[in-house]
C-alpha cells in the first residue's frame, strides 16, 4: 500500500522535474536544434533525474512492499535514462536521416518521450497538482511543440513539399522515410555502441559511412606541405667581357629544397650559344657518372660551369654570345578532389525545401578544393558548380571532370608524358575532349602505374583507373583536359553505399618533363682590323704591342707580351757574357698551331745573376712574321 502523498510533495516533485526540463530545453535552444547538449550539462541533468528516481522510489511514491519498491526503483531509473538520453538519440536520427519525417520524429520525442517525469506525475497524480501547475504544464508542452516546429523549419518544409509534390506523394515519402531511415539509424547507433552524448560532427563521421580518403589521399596530404623546390640561380660570366679568340666560361648554382621522390630525379644539364648553336662543355661537379648530370637530392647544391673553346665566337664574328643553360628532369604530381554524393531525388527534395544538405549533416568542408603534392605543377579539378552531386537510381547519369595543370615554378613543362585518372568505383570515363582516343582503363599492376611510382598507393578496389597519353597538347602553357564520365543504375549502390550522403574522391597522377632555363648575354670583343693595303691583319705582318714583361728567378724566366693578332710564337735567347749560342724556346701549342694574342713563354735552364738577350718570332695563321721580330729585349736572372 502506498503511503500518503501530500499535494505539497507532488507539487514540489513536479516543479523540480519541470526546472530540470527547462534547463535542458534552454541549452538545446541555445545550441540550435540538431545539436547535442554539452557533456557537463548532460551530467548535471542525469544526476538530477537519478535524484528524482531515488525520491520517487524511496520517498514520495514509496510502497510498503520491499519487492515492489525495488521493482519501482528499476522503473524509475529507466525513466531517468530516457529523460536524459532520449533527446540525444533522436537527435542523431535527425542528423543521420534529415528531412520531414525525422524532424517530426524529433519534435514528438522532445515534446512527449523526453518529458517522461512530467507525464508520469500528470497522468497519475494530476488531481494533486492544482489548477495552476496543470495549466503551466499544458502551456509548457504547447510552447515546446511550437518551438520545435519553427526551430527545425518543419512548417515551412511541409508547405513547400505540399505545393511541389502534392500531399499524397509527400506523405508516402514521409512514411517510407520514417520506416527506412529510422530502422537504419537505430541499427547504426546500436552497432557503434555509442549513446549520442558527443559532438555531432564526430558521430556523423561514424554513422554516415563517411568516406575519409585512403592511402593515396593520405600521401598527397603529407606531400602537399613539403616545400619541394629546384632552383637555378642566375648565370654569371667569369669575366666582364671576352675577346673573340679567348675561351668563354659562365657558371651558375643549382640547388634543391626538399625533393620527396624515391628515387631522386636525375637532372640533365645542357649548355649552348643561342646565336650560332655552339655547344658548351658542361661540368656539374656532382657525384653522378656523367659531368652533365645531377641527382636531385634533398637540400643540396651544385656549381655548374659551361665553357666554350677559344675562338668559338670569332668565326662568324659576333659582338655578344647568348648563352643558355637548361636543367631538365622528370617529375610527377599527385592530386585529389573530395566530392559529395547523394540520391538525386532526395537532393531535389532538399533543394525544393531550400535546405543545404551539407548543413543538415554538419559537414564543415562545404567547398573542397584540389589538394596536390608540392612541385613544379599546380593541379586543379572541378566536377560541377554544385556542392553535392545527385545520382539517379533509374537512369544513367552524366558528369564532366575538368583537370587543369599550370606552371608553379620558374620554368616550363617540356612534355606531359602521361596522366593517370582515378575515379570512384562505379563510375567510368567514356571520352576526353580534344583527344582522339579515350583513356585506357588499367589496373594497379599495369606498367603505367609502376612508372608513376604509385603502386603502393594504388587501390583498384576503390577506383576505376584510366591512363591517358595526351596528344597534340601544348603542355608548356596552362593546360585543361575534360573527361566525360558516366554512372548507371547498376552503379548506384557502389557509389552511395546505402548512406544518405557520402564523399568520393577523384585523383590524378601527372608524369611530365620539366625544364628550367637561364640565359646570359656575354660581350665579345672582336680582334682589331688593320688599314694596311686594304686587308685584314691575317694578310699582313703581326706586331708585338708594347714591351714584354718578365718575371725571373735564379734559373727561370717567364716572358709575357701581346700581339695585335692571333700568332704562334717562339723566343730565341742567348747570353753575351757567357758566350752561349742562340736557343729557341717555343710557346705552348706552337706545333699544334693554336694561335693566341696573349702570350706567355716559360724559359728554364738559365744561370743565376746573368743578363740574357732575347728576340720574339711571331707567325700569324698565314705564317707571316711579325714586323718587329728582330727587336732586341733583355732580362737578368736573380740570385740562386
Distance of alpha carbon 294 from alpha carbon 232, whole angstroms: 12
Buried b / exposed e over 314-344, threshold 16 CB at 10 Å, is beeebebbebbbbbbbbbbbbbbbbbbbbbb
Spatial distance between the Cα atoms of 428 and 425, rounded to a whole number of angstroms: 8
Tell me which H or E stretch contains 164: helix 154-165
> Do the strands 388-391 and 320-343 form a parallel or antiparallel pair, or are they unpaired?
parallel
Tell me the C-alpha to C-alpha distance, in Å, between residue 595 and each of 16, 117, 533, 616: 112, 112, 23, 15
| Residue 568, phi then psi, degrees to nearest 5 | -120, 130
The C-alpha atoms of residue 37 and residue 42 are separated, in whole angstroms, by 6
Smallest CA-to-CA distance from 539 within 570, 563, 565, 561 is with 565
The Cα 185–Cα 195 span in angstroms is 12
Q: Which of 68-77, 422-431, 517-526 has the highest mean pLDDT?
A: 422-431
Q: What is the DSSP letter of 437?
A: S
Confidence of residue 133 (pLDDT cuts 50, 70, 90): confident
Alpha helix stretches (DSSP H) within 38-65: 39-55
Instruction: Tell me the C-alpha to C-alpha distance, in Å, between residue 36 and each of 30, 191, 205, 255, 466.
Output: 11, 20, 15, 54, 44
Cell triple for residue 122?
500528470
Alpha-carbon distance values, 509 to 378, 414, 428 (Å):
12, 17, 17
**Cell triple for 182:** 529510422
Number of H helices, E strands in the chain: 14, 25
- Range of lowest pLDDT (164-178, 321-335, 458-472, 623-637): 164-178
In the chain, what is the greatest distance between 2 CA atoms, to the nearest angstrom?
153
What is the average pLDDT across 105-131?
Answer: 72
Most confident of 14-28, 296-310, 474-488: 296-310
pLDDT of residue 24: 72
In sequence order, the 6+-apart residues with CB closer than 8 A to the CB of 357 are 98, 340, 342, 347, 350, 387, 388, 501
pLDDT value at 432 more than 70: yes
**Strand order across the beta sheet in which 428-432 lies:** 377-382, 397-407, 479-487, 428-432
Helices (H), 193-214: 200-207
β-partners of residue 509 are: 334, 420
Per-residue pLDDT of 448-506, as tens digits, reads: 777 776 777 788 888 899 998 776 555 555 678 899 999 999 999 889 887 889 999 99
The pLDDT of 107-133, averaged and rounded, is 74
Q: What is the pLDDT of residue 401?
A: 93
Q: Does residue 167 have a pLDDT over 50?
A: no
Q: Cα(508)–Cα(419) distance, rounded to whole angstroms? A: 7
The answer, yes or no, to whether the previous bond of 263 is cis (omega within 30 of 0) is yes
Higher-confidence residue: 387 or 384?
387
Closest CA to 572 of 129, 580, 373: 580
DSSP letter string, 226-255: S---EEEPPPEESSS-EETTS-EEEEEEEE
Which of 457, 458, 463 has the alpha carbon at shortest distance from 494? 463
Convert the pLDDT of each residue in 67-82 to its tens digit: 777 887 888 888 877 7
**By the 8 A CB rule, do 416 and 475 touch?**
yes
Instruction: Please give the domain boundaries of the chain with CATH numbers for all domains.
Output: 2-195 (no CATH), 213-526 (no CATH), 527-636 (2.60.40.10)
**Helix segments in 370-505, DSSP class H:** 447-452, 492-496
Q: If you write DSSP's letter for every residue of 65-96 in order, what string do you get? A: -HHHHHHHHHHHHHHHHHHHHHHHHHHHHHHH
- Count of Cβ atoms closer than 10 Å to residue 289 Cβ: 6
Looking at residue 91, its pLDDT comes to 63
Number of alpha carbons in the 13 Å side-chain half-sphere of residue 148: 22
Amino acid at each position: 500500500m502506498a503511503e500518503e502523498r501530500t499535494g505539497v510533495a507532488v507539487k514540489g516533485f513536479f516543479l523540480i522535474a519541470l526546472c530540470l526540463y527547462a534547463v535542458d530545453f534552454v541549452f538545446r535552444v541555445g545550441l540550435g536544434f540538431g545539436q547535442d547538449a554539452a557533456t557537463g550539462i548532460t551530467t548535471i541533468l542525469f544526476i538530477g533525474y537519478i535524484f528524482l528516481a531515488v525520491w520517487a522510489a524511496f520517498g514520495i511514491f514509496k510502497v510498503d512492499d520491499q519487492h515492489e519498491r525495488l521493482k519501482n526503483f528499476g522503473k524509475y531509473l529507466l525513466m531517468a535514462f530516457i529523460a536524459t538520453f532520449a533527446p540525444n538519440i533522436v537527435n542523431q536520427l535527425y542528423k543521420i536521416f534529415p528531412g520531414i519525417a525525422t524532424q517530426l520524429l524529433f519534435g514528438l520525442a522532445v515534446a512527449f518521450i523526453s518529458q517522461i517525469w512530467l507525464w508520469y506525475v500528470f497522468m497519475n497524480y494530476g488531481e494533486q497538482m492544482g489548477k495552476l501547475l496543470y495549466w503551466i504544464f499544458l502551456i509548457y508542452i504547447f510552447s515546446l511543440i511550437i518551438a520545435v516546429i519553427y526551430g527545425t523549419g518543419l512548417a515551412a518544409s511541409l508547405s513547400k513539399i505540399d505545393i511541389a509534390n502534392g500531399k499524397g506523394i509527400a506523405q508516402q515519402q514521409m512514411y517510407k522515410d520514417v520506416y527506412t531511415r529510422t530502422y537504419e539509424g537505430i541499427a547504426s547507433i546500436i552497432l557503434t555502441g555509442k549513446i549520442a552524448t558527443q559532438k555531432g560532427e564526430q558521430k556523423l563521421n561514424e554513422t554516415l559511412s563517411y568516406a575519409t580518403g585512403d592511402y593515396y589521399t593520405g600521401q598527397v596530404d603529407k606531400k602537399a606541405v613539403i616545400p619541394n623546390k629546384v632552383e637555378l640561380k642566375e648565370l654569371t660570366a667569369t669575366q666582364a667581357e671576352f675577346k673573340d679568340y679567348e675561351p668563354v666560361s659562365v657558371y651558375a648554382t643549382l640547388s634543391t629544397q626538399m625533393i620527396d621522390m624515391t628515387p631522386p630525379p636525375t637532372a640533365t644539364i645542357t649548355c649552348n650559344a643561342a646565336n650560332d648553336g655552339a655547344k658548351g662543355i658542361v661540368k656539374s661537379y656532382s657525384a653522378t657518372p656523367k659531368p652533365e648530370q645531377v641527382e636531385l637530392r634533398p637540400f643540396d647544391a651544385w656549381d655548374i660551369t659551361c665553357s666554350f673553346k677559344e675562338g668559338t665566337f670569332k668565326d662568324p664574328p659576333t659582338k655578344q654570345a647568348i648563352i643558355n643553360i637548361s636543367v631538365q628532369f622528370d617529375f610527377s604530381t599527385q592530386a585529389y578532389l573530395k566530392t559529395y554524393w547523394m540520391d538525386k531525388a532526395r537532393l531535389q527534395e532538399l533543394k525544393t525545401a531550400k535546405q543545404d544538405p551539407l548543413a543538415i549533416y554538419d559537414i564543415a568542408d562545404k567547398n573542397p578544393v584540389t589538394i596536390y603534392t608540392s612541385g613544379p605543377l599546380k593541379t586543379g579539378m572541378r566536377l560541377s558548380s554544385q556542392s553535392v552531386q545527385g545520382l539517379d537510381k533509374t537512369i544513367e547519369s552524366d558528369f564532366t571532370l575538368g583537370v587543369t595543370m599550370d606552371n608553379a615554378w620558374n620554368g616550363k613543362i617540356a612534355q606531359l608524358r602521361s596522366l593517370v585518372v582515378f575515379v570512384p568505383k562505379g563510375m567510368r570515363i567514356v571520352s576526353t575532349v580534344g583527344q582522339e582516343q579515350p583513356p585506357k582503363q588499367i589496373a594497379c599492376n599495369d606498367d603505367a602505374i609502376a612508372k608513376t611510382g604509385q603502386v603502393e598507393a594504388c587501390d583498384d578496389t576503390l577506383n576505376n583507373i584510366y591512363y591517358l597519353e595526351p596528344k597534340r597538347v601544348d603542355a608548356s602553357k596552362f593546360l585543361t583536359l575534360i573527361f566525360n564520365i558516366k554512372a548507371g543504375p547498376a552503379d548506384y549502390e557502389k557509389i552511395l553505399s546505402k548512406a544518405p550522403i557520402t564523399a568520393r574522391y577523384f585523383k590524378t597522377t601527372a608524369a611530365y618533363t620539366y625544364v628550367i632555363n637561364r640565359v646570359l648575354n656575354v660581350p665579345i670583343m672582336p680582334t682589331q682590323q688593320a688599314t694596311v693595303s686594304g686587308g685584314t691583319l691575317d694578310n699582313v705582318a703581326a706586331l708585338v704591342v708594347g714591351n714584354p714583361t718578365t718575371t725571373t728567378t735564379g734559373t727561370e724566366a717567364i716572358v709575357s707580351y701581346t700581339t695585335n693578332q692571333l700568332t704562334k710564337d717562339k723566343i730565341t735567347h742567348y747570353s753575351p757574357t757567357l758566350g752561349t749560342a742562340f736557343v729557341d724556346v717555343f710557346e705552348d701549342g706552337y706545333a699544334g698551331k693554336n694561335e693566341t694574342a696573349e702570350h706567355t713563354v716559360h724559359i728554364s735552364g738559365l744561370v743565376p745573376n746573368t743578363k740574357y738577350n732575347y728576340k720574339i718570332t711571331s707567325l700569324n695563321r698565314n705564317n707571316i712574321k711579325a714586323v718587329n721580330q728582330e727587336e732586341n729585349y733583355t732580362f737578368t736572372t736573380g740570385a740562386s
